[in-house]
Amino acid sequence: MAPLRLWLSILTGLLGTGAQEDLYRKVFVFRNDPSDAYVVLRLRPEQPLLNFTVCLRSYTHLTRPHSLFSYATKAQDNEILLLKPKPGEYRFYVGGKFVTFRTPENRGDWEHVCARWESGTGVAEFWLDGKPWPRKGLQRGYAVGPEAAVLLGQEQDAFGGGFDLYNSFSGELADVYLWDTVLSPDRMRAAFQSLRLPPALLAWSSLSYSIKGDVVVKPRLRAALGA
C-alpha cells in the first residue's frame, strides 16, 4: 500500500465512528487500572504548530506513571505529551524532548494543568490550578508536525499505538483544550475557572471524539475548584 494510503487507513481506523458534543459538566471515566482503553480526539491541523497551549483537568488516585494527553505524528510519537510519572511531578514533551515540573502532591482532588510553548523562544510554561511555575527552555526553533493522532488515556510509542498499559490513565478527565496560540496569563486563569475561552483546535464545548474500550461519559459528580 502506498505510504499516503497506509496513513489514511491508520487514521480512519483510529477515528472510526464517533461523536461531537458539548461536554460541559461531563467527564470521561476510565474505569480500569491498568487499561487498554483510550479516547481519540479528531484534529486536522493544516500547518505545523509553532505555538500552542494545551489544558485539561484530571481526577485520579494513581501513583504510577500515566499519560494525560498524547499527540503523535508519523515522524515523532511524543510530539506533544503531558505525562505524570509520579505524584508531585509532571513531564511536558515537545518533539521527543521534555522538561520536568515538580508540584505539591495531589490530595485526592481535581488538578487543572495547562502547558504552553512557543518555537521562537523555546519557552515552555506549566500552570497548575491557575498558577504558573518557573518557565523553562525546550526545543527552540522546532515545529510540531500536523497530521497527528491525538489520544487521551494512553501514551503512544508509535503512531496511534504502541501502548504500555502501565502508563495508561485511570480516573476522570475533563475540560480538554488545544490552541494553536500561546494564551495570555488572563486566559490561562480563565481556563482554570472554566470561563469563556477563545476558539480552539480542540474544545471541550464542541469535541469530536471516538471511544476505544472501557471509557464512559458521565456527569461530573465532584465539583472542581474554579470550575
The domain ranges of the chain are 3-217
| Cβ neighbours around 99 below 10 Å, total | 19
Separation of alpha carbons 221 and 205, rounded Å: 18
What is the band of 224 on the pLDDT scale with cuts at 50, 70, 90? low
With bands split at pLDDT 50, 70 and 90, how would you rate the model's confidence at 184? Answer: very high
Is the pLDDT at 6 greater than 60? The verdict is no
How high is the pLDDT of residue 225?
58
- State how far the Cα of 158 lies from the Cα of 160, in Å rounded to an integer: 6
* pLDDT confidence bin for 99, thresholds 50/70/90: very high
Q: What does the pLDDT read at residue 12?
A: 44
- 161-190 b/e (C-beta count within 10 Å ≥ 16 → b): bebeeebbbbbbbbbbbbbbbbbeeebbbb
Q: Which CATH architecture has domain 3-217?
A: Sandwich (2.60)
pLDDT at 11: 46
Look at residue 16 in the predicted model and tell me its pLDDT.
46
Which pLDDT score, from 0 to 100, does residue 21 have? 84
